[in-house]
């Protein structure tokens, strides 16, 4: 096989394998029912799909020397599809806005105080805010003295990068 057929085969094998990521991930979550393991299982499912992709690719390919471009393009596409799945999953799993609208739906008629107090199934916004601050402190993005938060150099660099990319991509206001 040479030329376009190699790329088409790599493309279709990649699509089939990429479909295994969410299918396997959803199955694992339903079987083991441990939501705190969602992220590690996502990585595990990606590794499984990567191994599956290699097995299918090499089973259907000519010698590797003629398949290197198709191999690399398949890896790139599989990685891109996995990152897309991760982004979608994180928007649902940890997204602030999604959690907010889900809470409003569950409460049906709620005041702002109800939502603030019961945010994220009773965790509350103050607790969520405190957790975020603690995470940023433990990962050395900011320090806190009394009630004053100060960005570290790592935090400043991350903020500057975020501002640059948001400006470059014309993403508008937001975190």
For position 6, what pLDDT does the model report?
A: 60
Both tokens of residue 89? 């999953």
Question: Is 110 in a helix, a strand, or coil?
Answer: coil
Instruction: Please give the Cα distance from 43 to 103 (Å, whole number).
Output: 28
Q: Which residue has the tokens 């935090």?
A: 155
For position 50, what pLDDT does the model report?
A: 80
For position 157, what pLDDT does the model report?
A: 92
Q: 71 burial class (0-12, 13-18, 19+ CB within 10 angstroms)?
A: middle
Beta strands in 19-170 (DSSP E): 142-145, 148-151
Both tokens of residue 34? 């441990």
For position 1, what pLDDT does the model report?
A: 47
Beta strands in the chain (DSSP E): 142-145, 148-151
**0.85 exceeded by pTM:** no
Domain ranges within the chain, ordered by starting residue: 4-94, 139-175
pLDDT tens across the length of the chain (175 residues): 455 566 676 677 777 777 777 787 788 878 888 777 777 777 887 888 788 777 777 776 655 545 677 777 777 888 888 888 888 877 776 677 767 777 778 778 778 887 778 777 777 778 888 888 898 899 999 999 998 999 999 999 988 988 887 787 676 666 5
């Amino acid at each position: 096989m040479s030329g376009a057929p190699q790329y088409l085969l790599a493309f279709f094998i990649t699509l089939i394998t990429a479909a295994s990521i969410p299918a396997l991930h959803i199955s694992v979550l339903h079987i083991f029912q441990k939501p705190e393991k969602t992220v590690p299982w996502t990585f595990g499912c990606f590794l499984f799909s990567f191994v599956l992709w290699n097995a299918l690719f090499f089973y259907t390919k000519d010698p590797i020397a003629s398949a290197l471009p198709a191999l690399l393009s398949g890896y790139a596409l599989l990685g891109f599809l996995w990152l897309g799945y991760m982004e979608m999953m994180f928007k649902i799993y940890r997204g602030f806005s999604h959690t907010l609208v889900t809470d409003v739906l569950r409460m049906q008629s709620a005041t702002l105080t109800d939502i603030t107090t019961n945010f994220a199934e009773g965790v509350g916004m103050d607790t969520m805010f405190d957790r975020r601050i603690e995470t940023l402190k433990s990962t050395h993005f900011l320090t806190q003295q009394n009630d004053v938060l100060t960005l570290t150099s790592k935090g400043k660099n991350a903020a500057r990068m975020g501002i640059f990319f948001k400006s470059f991509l014309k993403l508008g206001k937001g975190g």
